[in-house]
A and B are shown apart, each in its own frame.
Chain A
Amino acid sequence: NAGVTQTPKFRVLKTGQSMTLLCAQDMNHEYMYWYRQDPGMGLRLIHYSVGEGTTAKGEVPDGYNVSRLKKQNFLLGLESAAPSQTSVYFCASSYGGDSASDTQYFGPGTRLTVL
């Protein structure tokens, strides 16, 4: 049981390049989330998904796209990377349902630098 895994762990891009971050979970969770973490800003929600085939915008969605084609995977794409997207990206998943007391399980993070 690996929990939540993220690929890659580190990446350096040039401005304008594209890339996809992969998140995978093996806990059969319905909900998945992408956050970015910047110094002094805490965690900010980029996009989230409440089930296979569904996605929704979070607090800071601009410049990112996501897809949830399989229940266990949640992909975050950057079509044209900008220096402002330099950050640490965290994926999380949770069981889902009606309970707002649900616990989120986090991946180890991806450190992205855009030059």
Chain B
Amino acid sequence: AQSVTQPDIHITVSEGASLELRCNYSYGATPYLFWYVQSPGQGLQLLLKYFSGDTLVQGIKGFEAEFKRSQSSFNLRKPSVHWSDAAEYFCAVGTGGSYIPTFGRGTSLIVHP
């Protein structure tokens, strides 16, 4: 069965600084990978996803993520964080033959002015 680990429960950055949120997965074959964002009091919204092709994926709101098979990672990055990026971020993995994605426990992003 697949699994997802988000090692950081909380991340604090200053506004304007760069951001990297870590995600590691466990699965034997090529996974399908997702990043979702949850603003306070809201549901989850898809930021980006990877399922084939270019390993560097561009998403909404200026986010990108890179799939690294050798490291079993799919880290989320943003070059310059805005105060409105403060939210909970979830990584998820889907696999061939299963339409039920597995979610990580989430990383809470705090942005200081």
Contact = CB atoms under 8 A, between A and B. Distances in A.
A40 B104 CA distance: 10
A106 B106 CA distance: 16
Nearest to B34: A103
Contact of A109 (B42, B90, B98, B105): B42
A40 B99 contact: no
Contact of B32 (A48, A50, A96, A100): A100
Contacts of B74: none
B43 interface: yes
Given A90-B43, A100-B96, A102-B94, A42 B104 contact: yes
A108 B44 CA distance: 8
Q: How large is the interface on B (under 10, 10 to 19, 20 to 34, 35 or more residues)?
A: 20 to 34
B104 A102 contact: no
B69 to A, nearest CB: 16
Given A42-B90, A42-B104, A100 B43 contact: no
Interface of A: 4, 31, 33, 40-43, 45, 48, 50, 58, 90, 92, 94, 96-97, 99-109
